[in-house]
Amino acid sequence: MSGRPREFDDDAVIAAAMDVFWSNGYEATSAQELVERTGLGRGSLYNAFGSKQKLYHEALTRYQEQGIQAQAQILDGPGMVKERLRALMLWGIDGDLDPVKRRGCMALFAALERSGKDPAVERISRVYITRLEQVLCHLFAVGQRSGEVSSGRPALTMARAFLASYYGLRLLGRSMPERAFLEDVMEGTLAGL
Amino acid sequence: MSGRPREFDDDAVIAAAMDVFWSNGYEATSAQELVERTGLGRGSLYNAFGSKQKLYHEALTRYQEQGIQAQAQILDGPGMVKERLRALMLWGIDGDLDPVKRRGCMALFAALERSGKDPAVERISRVYITRLEQVLCHLFAVGQRSGEVSSGRPALTMARAFLASYYGLRLLGRSMPERAFLEDVMEGTLAGL
DNA sequence: TTGTTATTTGGCCGATCGTTAAAATATAGG
DNA sequence: CCTATATTTTAACGATCGGCCAAATAACAA
């Protein structure tokens, strides 16, 4: 069975590809750049991952796994509910304003760029959003029981509204890359809970 | 001076180009498709607009002019403040769920796709967002004077938070294209004002 | 050692990319 | 009618696109 062993680490290659796709998106990323940034030869890359599209799926899935973990860790952390939500938004702002990378959320871009063209991306995006929605819903339920946030509407509805606010914030980070503006959005959002 | 007269209508060509860019984005749109959908010859198109990039600027500007007009008309309309905000969000939902076109907001996609790569798009996006922000700010100020919305935070802050909610809603329309979900987001957002 | 299998290497495929050049064509001014 | 100017038409440019293939290579099983 086993022939010549692979000389590369799949995880490292996917991580490198993720970095490229994250910066450029799917369409604007060339196979050539993937070859250069992963360090693999052209043939090796296609032998291992099949196509640019499949490699993109791997990279996006990886991104979302890391993202959901980082975000859930913040939301499941200690402190008041609103403080955790603020921490999540600050985490997003800091990421979007990174002066060296200067790139937004890959998951958001993926959904906008590939929805309607790649059913696999649609599925992956849905899973990601739904997971974040569930984490948020649980958090709002906790906040409601403790009386920290309004109990006037279902926790799921609040979670969904916050989800939109959070994604909108990440979006605005691309066009309005000023901390004062984004933190104003953040405070306005928190004040409405 | 004047040589052979143009055989096409600039406005119609920009409208056709806008339609293509709206559906595909910038990167995924080829010069070939622009030629086919505008009806112009390759040479004519480049003679008239210079490059794919410049034509994209024209198309995006056109889109935003139409968008800001339609949205301002809704927000400046009759009725309660919250009803106008609801009407705006419903307008967005209806557009995003259009069963035939199935494409989101071109301005959002443009900001995500081209920010950091095309300073002109950054400028155009900023202008558009700032205008919508101003219209919303005025509306919230009206709502605060009439007591319809909370006066606990500045109108500008509320406008910005709503802006994020609205853009987030449009974003979610791409990944969660179900009216029930989106209207839940909408109601949750309105309830927080 | 001798197959067998999987990976690496490097070049190369046809197609398409955005853009341009040249020649033909149509108007206005003189 | 003639010249100048602007647009149309058509073909083609070099570059790059995503993907593939044959030969060389390195491990395992027998």
| pLDDT per residue as tens digits for the range A71-92 | 999 999 999 999 999 999 999 9
∠ at Cα B142 (B140, B146), nearest 5°?
115
**Local confidence band at B1 (pLDDT 50, 70, 90 cut-offs):** low
What are A3-38's pLDDT values in tens digits?
Answer: 888 999 999 999 999 999 999 999 999 999 999 999
Q: Which residues from chain A sit within 8 angstroms of residue B112, using beta carbons? A: 104, 108-109, 112-113, 171, 174
**Local confidence band at B5 (pLDDT 50, 70, 90 cut-offs):** confident
Residue-wise over B109-141: b if at least 16 C-beta within 10 A, else e? bbbbbbbbebeebbebbeebbebbbebbbbbbb
Binding-face residues of B in 118-147 toward A, CB within 8 A:
122, 125-126, 129
Residues A126 and B188: their CA atoms lie apart, in Å, by: 20
> Residue A5 has what pLDDT?
85
| Pairs across A and B, CB distance < 8 A | 149
Q: With H, G, I as helix, E, B as strand and everything else as coil, classify residue A191.
A: helix
* A119: nearest CA partner in chain B: B175
Inter-chain residue contact B165 with A166, CB threshold 8 Å? no
- Supply the Cα-derived Rg of chain A in whole angstroms: 19
Q: CA A74: distance to chain centroid?
A: 14
Estimate the crossing angle of helix B155-175 against helix B179-191, to 10 degrees: 170
Contact call for residues A104 and A174 (beta carbons, < 8 A): yes
**HSE (side-chain half, CA atoms, 13 Å) at B162:** 31
What are A52-74's pLDDT values in tens digits?
Answer: 999 999 999 999 999 999 999 99
Residues B84 and B131: their CA atoms lie apart, in Å, by: 17
Contact call for residues B9 and B48 (beta carbons, < 8 A): no
Q: Measured in angstroms, what separates residue A183's CA from nucleotide C16's C1'?
A: 45
Name the residue among A185, A10, A116, A75 with its Cα closest to residue B168: A185
**pTM of this structure:** 0.96
Q: Which residues from chain B sit within 8 angstroms of residue A181, using beta carbons? A: 160
Check the CA dihedral B44-B47-B52-B56 and report its sign. negative
- Only one residue has tokens 């410049």, namely B54
What are B104-157's pLDDT values in tens digits?
Answer: 999 999 999 999 999 999 999 999 999 999 999 999 999 999 999 999 999 999
Residues B145 and A190: their CA atoms lie apart, in Å, by: 22
Question: Best of B160, B162, B166 to disrupt the A interface by mutation (most A CBs within 10 Å)?
Answer: B160
Inter-chain residue contact A152 with B108, CB threshold 8 Å? no
Alpha-carbon distance values, A104 to A137, B43, B183 (Å)? 25, 37, 26
pLDDT over 90, % of chain B: 97
Name the residue among B121, B131, B93 with its Cα closest to residue A174: B121
Contact call for residues B55 and B20 (beta carbons, < 8 A): no
